[in-house]
C-alpha cells in the first residue's frame, strides 16, 4: 500500500528515535509520502538529519515554534522546494518540569501556565496560520494530545489544561478551514516513554497502571500512533475532521484504574 504517494508532509517535533514524531515520519514514508522535518535547536540537528536520510532525504530546518521568523522561513523553504504542502504534523509540547510534579494548585505559576499554553496549544494555531498560504487542496493538519485534557491525571497538571485548549483548537480550526477542504484532527496517544514523557513525575507508574487495565493490556507504540497519523493525513480519511482519535489500547473507555 502507498496511500500517501505524492503527498508532501511537514513534521515538527522529532527529538530522537523514541519521539512520536519519528514514528509518524516513518509511517508517512512507508506509505509513499515525502517528508520535511524541523528541529528546535542545533543540538537536535544531526539526529533529525539522520532520520531525514532514512526517510527519503527531504529538507530539514531549524524551527523553534515560538519564533515567528523561524516559522516563516520554514514555510518559505517548503514553498521553494515543493511549492505546497499536503500534510502538517504538530508533535510539540512543553511545560516547566517542576510544574509536572505535585499538587496542581500548589505548583502552577502564571509563567508556567502561559508557557505551556504558548508552546503546546497556541503554536498549533500559529502553525496553521503560517502554512495556510501553501496548503494544497485536501490538506490535513494533525496534532498530538493526551487523556489529561479531559480527565485530571496526577502530575500532568498544567499540561492537561494546555491540551484541553489544544483539543478545542482542533475543533475551531476544523470549522474555520473546512470549507477550504482542509481537515484538522488530533490523536490522543496512550502513555509512551519519550523525552517529553520523562518530564512528568512518576510517568512509568502511570504507564504501568494504564497497561494493567487497558483492554489491549500493553502500552501503545510510536509505530501504532504513526500508522493512525498516516491514515488520518490521507485521502482515506477525507470525511474525518475536528476529531480526537484515541490510540491508547482502549484505556479511555474503561474505568477502574489510575
Catalytic residues: 146, 156
Among 116, 196, 230, 244, binds ligand NAP (CB under 6 A): 196
Among 37, 91, 153, 158, binds ligand NAP (CB under 6 A): 91
C-beta of residue 193 within 8 angstroms of C-beta of residue 207: yes
* Alpha-helical regions (H) of the chain: 20-30, 45-54, 68-82, 104-107, 110-117, 123-131, 157-177, 203-213, 222-232
Query: Considering beta carbons, is residue 29 or 156 the nearer one to ligand NAP?
Result: 156
Could you give the CA distance from residue 192 to residue 204 in angstroms, rounded to a whole number?
9
Query: Considering beta carbons, is residue 47 or 138 the nearer one to ligand NAP?
Result: 47
250: left (phi over 0), alpha (psi -120 to 50) or beta: left
Among 140, 194, 228, 234, binds ligand NAP (CB under 6 A): 194
Could you give the CA distance from residue 213 to residue 218 in angstroms, rounded to a whole number?
9
Query: Which residues neighbour 104 within 8 Å (Cβ) at sequence distance 6 or greater?
Result: 152, 157, 158
Q: Does 135 bind ligand NAP (CB under 6 A)?
A: no
Q: Which region among 25-33, 75-83, 88-96, 210-218 touches ligand NAP (by CB under 6 A)?
A: 88-96
Q: Does 19 bind ligand NAP (CB under 6 A)?
A: yes
Q: Which residues contribute to the site for ligand NAP (CB under 6 A)?
A: 13-15, 19-21, 40-41, 44, 64-66, 91-94, 119, 144-146, 189, 191-192, 194-197
Amino acid at each position: 500500500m502507498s496511500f500517501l504517494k505524492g503527498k508532501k508532509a511537514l513534521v515538527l517535533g522529532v527529538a530522537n528515535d523514541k519521539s512520536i514524531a519519528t514514528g509518524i515520519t516513518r509511517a508517512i514514508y512507508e506509505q509513499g509520502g515525502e517528508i520535511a522535518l524541523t528541529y528546535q535547536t542545533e543540538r537536535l540537528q544531526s539526529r533529525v538529519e539522520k532520520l531525514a536520510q532514512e526517510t527519503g532525504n527531504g529538507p530539514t530546518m531549524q524551527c523553534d515554534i515560538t519564533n515567528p521568523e523561524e516559522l516563516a522561513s520554514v514555510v518559505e523553504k517548503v514553498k521553494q522546494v515543493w511549492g505546497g504542502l499536503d500534510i502538517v504534523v504538530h508533535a510539540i509540547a512543553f511545560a516547566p518540569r517542576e510544574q509536572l510534579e505535585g499538587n496542581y494548585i500548589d505548583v502552577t505559576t502564571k509563567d508556567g501556565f502561559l508557557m505551556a499554553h504558548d508552546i503546546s496549544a497556541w503554536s498549533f494555531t500559529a502553525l496553521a496560520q503560517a502554512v495556510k498560504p501553501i496548503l494544497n487542496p485536501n490538506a490535513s493538519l494533525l496534532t498530538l494530545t493526551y487523556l489529561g485534557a479531559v480527565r485530571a491525571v496526577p502530575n500532568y497538571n498544567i499540561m492537561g489544561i494546555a491540551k484541553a485548549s489544544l483539543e478545542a483548537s482542533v475543533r475551531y480550526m476544523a470549522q474555520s478551514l473546512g470549507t477550504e477542504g482542509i481537515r484538522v484532527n488530533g490523536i490522543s496517544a496512550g502513555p509512551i516513554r519519550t523525552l517529553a514523557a520523562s518530564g512528568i513525575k512518576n510517568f512509568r507508574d502511570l504507564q504501568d497502571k494504564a497497561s494493567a487495565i487497558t483492554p489491549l493490556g500493553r502500552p501503545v507504540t510510536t509505530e501504532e500512533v504513526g500508522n493512525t497519523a498516516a491514515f488520518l493525513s490521507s485521502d482515506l480519511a477525507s470525511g474525518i475532521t475536528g476529531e480526537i482519535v484515541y490510540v491508547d489500547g482502549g484505556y479511555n473507555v474503561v474505568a477502574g484504574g489510575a
